[in-house]
Amino acid sequence: MITILVIEDERAVRENIIELLNIEGFDPIGAENGDIGVRLALEHVPDLIVCDVMMPKVDGYGVLKALRSQPMTATIPFIFLTAKAAKEDWRQAMKLGADDYLTKPFSRAELLDAIATRLEKQAAQREHYQTTAINQVATTLNSLDCYDSLTKLPNRRWLREQLHHSLPPADNNQQVVPFLCLGLDRFNRINDNMGFAFGDLVLCSVAERIKNCVIENDIVVRLNNDQFAIILRSINQKKDAANFAQLILDVLAKPFNLNGYEIFITASIGISFYPSDSDDIDNLIKQTSAAIHDAKRKGGNNYQFYTKEINIVISEPLALENDLRYALEREQLNLYYQPQLDLRTEQIVGVEALIRWHHPKRGMVSPGIFIPLAEEIGLIIPIGEWVLRTACAQAKAWQVAGHTSLKVSVNLSVYQLNDPNLIKKICDVLNQTDFQPNCLELELTESILVQNPEAVSAIFLKLKELGVKISIDDFGTGYSSLGYLQQFTFDTLKIDQCFIRGLHKNDTNAAITKALIQMAKSLNLEVISEGVETEAEEAFLRQHQCDIIQGYWFSRPLPVEELSKLLKKL
Ligand code: C2E
Ligand code: MG
Ligand code: MG
């Protein structure tokens, strides 16, 4: 609803305007003098202000001056009302930044017309401002390096952005494209024994040999430290892919003569096929990594095809999988909570629930390992529900203990979003734990939004109806087309840790973070910076008006008792 603040000392005029605005479906607030007007404007941040010029003590000019000097109210459309029609008044009002000027007596139609014009202009301006800010972020993100500085090969970012341009459409099942991942066997030993500079030299030589094996249309990418991906657009037979993998192994097996040393390198290769195994780049990497794992387990220096059964062949994940099935009922899962510090008030405003698995033999297993596994075997649905229930119940307990408006953030997997019962489950949890919906924030990563925008949009609307908040996690790492930002209604943007790392001394990270904060502000989103590890990073974020920080610098994720202590201290 559109809120309009009416500041007018003459009671009859004020009430008349308020009545008219009520009838027209606005949400009017009345103020009987300038002082009250300024206070209410700062408190409610209305969408528009109608203000009388001639008032005792603080007059209309005083009100306008006070509000234009505050960032919250600086751009609110402002319409003056006055009995005076002198040119000087009009000029003074405009000079101070008023948007329109109505001379009393004015008709209802004149007032409504002036309001409608201002609101339209404001909406257009806001949209322009948002689009500019979004485009700036998109340009900045796009300008990030897509090439590995060491080997000059394209990197993982390039692969994410370019792959769909380089491959045939996924529905064209006739054509399969082999996707190979190559990991060097025991590469750490080279770094450990010979130093990183020598390790870099080896990587460059390996890259060179791989490049010499491919032809023009094929793609070689450096995925990370000692992993490379090869996309063979010139081959579409399984047999040929196997021959190629063997060729690479043979070429790499020849000794390398570097800096007077002769060294031997072997590699393990995993192979899967686009699109028959998957049409998603992250999935292809996951599958081929599992196949590499399998190849390494068989002694290295060989290749393996990805198969659905590969997880069964690899003993580790299988054992984990079996254990995970019992983890919930054996109460091996628990939640840690990482506090979020509001830089404006120095208060802990929320906590993020982060799952932990205390495995009886392995000790703590990181969610980075078992969440993908839980997703793959469907366990993420019961686990996710347990997380939601436990987090809401715990946050309720903290609220009852006196932290009345503490919020809790819960990470949601894309599999949960596809669960047709998701909304019902959330309602049930909120009811059973007696937890206020607006204190629950669900964290989703941006890749979820682009995968199925219509379905996601519909779920977002339902969540909004419930009053639950939504935040976009790990923002900036996924997709450089940000068109979806204006399309979805969400509340919070969490800047990914990779941009926060050393941002006070890294110009690129500083530029991206500044642009992200500005963009979030233009979209009226709250900004949380994740992974803040140092005082210098915090100082930078404070200086650039980031709202909230989360990271080891303020606090690591903590078990319930420790977080309770921290809450008591503040
Ligand atoms: P996330 O949601 O982006 O969570 C933030 C991760 O960053 C957490 O890792 C946290 O411990 C870590 N972190 C926080 N501050 C710092 C810092 O200053 N420096 C560094 N280096 N790291 C910091 P964690 O707990 O290992 O969780 C990893 C990811 O696993 C989470 O990333 C989230 O995507 C997922 N996850 C965790 N709990 C759940 C859950 O209950 N459900 C689902 N679906 N996913 C979860
Ligand atoms: Mg998160
Ligand atoms: Mg995150």
Question: Is any atom of ligand 1 closer than 6 Å to the C-beta of 334?
Answer: no
CB count within 10 Å of CB 109 equals 8
Question: Is any atom of ligand 1 closer than 6 Å to the C-beta of 360?
Answer: no
Ligand 1 midpoint to CA 512 (Å): 21
Using CB atoms within 10 Å of the CB of residue 442, give its burial: 0 to 12 exposed, 13 to 18 middle, 19+ buried.
Answer: buried
What's the farthest any 2 CA atoms get from each other in the chain? 96
Asked if residue 48 lies in contact with residue 77, where contact means CB atoms within 8 angstroms, the answer is yes
Which ligand is nearest the CA of 494, by number? 3
pLDDT value at position 436? 98
H or E element in which residue 178 lies: strand 177-184
Q: DSSP characters for 205-263?
A: HHHHHHHHHS-TT-EEEEEETTEEEEE-TT---HHHHHHHHHHHHHHHHSPEEETTEEE
d(CA 340, CA 409): 10
Ligand 1 midpoint to CA 502 (Å): 19
The pTM for the full model equals: 0.72
Q: Which residues contact 447 (CB under 8 A, 6 or more apart)?
A: 414, 478, 479
Tell me the sheet residues that pair with 473: 445
- Residue with CA closest to ligand 1 atom 42: 411
Q: Which amino acid is at 207?
A: A
CA-wise closest residue to 348 among 52, 568, 46: 568
Question: Is any atom of ligand 1 closer than 6 Å to the C-beta of 67?
Answer: no
- Residue with CA closest to ligand 1 atom 46: 411
CA-wise closest residue to 293 among 277, 279, 307, 278: 307
- Residue with CA closest to ligand 1 atom 3: 474
Which ligand is nearest the CA of 441, by number? 2
pLDDT value at position 193? 79
Question: Is any atom of ligand 1 closer than 6 Å to the C-beta of 30?
Answer: no
Asked if residue 180 lies in contact with residue 220, where contact means CB atoms within 8 angstroms, the answer is no
pLDDT value at position 173? 55
CA-wise closest residue to 334 among 162, 175, 152, 562: 562
Q: What phi and psi values does residue 512 have, to the nearest 5 degrees?
A: -65, -45
d(CA 488, CA 464): 11
What separation, in Å, do the N-terminal and C-terminal C-alpha atoms of the chain show?
Answer: 36
Pull the structure tokens for residue 435: 């937890």
Ligand 2 midpoint to CA 564 (Å): 20
Ligand 1 midpoint to CA 497 (Å): 10
Pull the structure tokens for residue 100: 């329109």
H or E element in which residue 87 lies: helix 87-96
CB count within 10 Å of CB 450 equals 14
Ligand 2 midpoint to CA 366 (Å): 14
Cα–Cα separations (whole angstroms), residue 99 to 48, 102, 122? 10, 10, 10
Asked if residue 454 lies in contact with residue 487, where contact means CB atoms within 8 angstroms, the answer is no
To the nearest 10°, the Cα dihedral for 306, 309, 311, 316? -120
Q: Which residues contact 404 (CB under 8 A, 6 or more apart)?
A: none
DSSP at 195? -
Using CB atoms within 10 Å of the CB of residue 476, give its burial: 0 to 12 exposed, 13 to 18 middle, 19+ buried.
Answer: buried
- Looking at the chain, how many residues does it have? 570
* DSSP H helices in 143-195: 156-166, 187-194
Ligand 1 midpoint to CA 530 (Å): 9
Q: What phi and psi values does residue 426 have, to the nearest 5 degrees?
A: -65, -45
Tell me the sheet residues that pair with 548: 342, 528
Ligand 3 midpoint to CA 496 (Å): 6
Cα–Cα separations (whole angstroms), residue 160 to 220, 368, 381? 13, 20, 28
What is the full per-residue pLDDT of the chain (570 aa) written as tens digits? 899 999 999 999 999 999 999 999 999 999 999 999 999 999 999 999 999 998 999 999 999 999 999 888 998 999 999 876 667 777 888 888 889 989 888 999 999 999 999 999 999 998 998 899 898 888 888 777 788 888 989 988 888 877 766 676 655 555 789 999 999 988 878 877 788 889 999 999 999 999 999 988 899 999 988 999 999 988 888 899 999 999 999 999 999 999 888 888 999 999 999 988 988 888 899 889 889 988 887 888 999 999 877 654 444 556 778 889 899 989 999 999 999 999 999 999 999 999 999 998 888 888 877 887 888 788 999 999 999 999 999 999 999 999 999 999 999 998 899 899 999 999 999 999 999 999 999 999 887 777 778 888 899 999 999 999 999 998 887 665 677 788 888 999 999 998 898 898 888 889 989 999 999 999 999 999 999 999 999 999 999 999 999 999 999 999 999 999 999 987
pLDDT value at position 479? 62
Question: Is any atom of ligand 1 closer than 6 Å to the C-beta of 175?
Answer: no
Please give the number of the atom of ligand 1 that sits closest to the Cα of 375: 44
d(CA 411, CA 313): 31
pLDDT value at position 169? 65
Rg (C-alpha) for the chain, rounded Å, is 30
Question: Is any atom of ligand 1 closer than 6 Å to the C-beta of 379?
Answer: no
Q: Is the dihedral of CA 113, 118, 119, 121 positive or negative?
A: positive
Strands, E, within 478-556: which ranges?
492-495, 526-529, 548-549
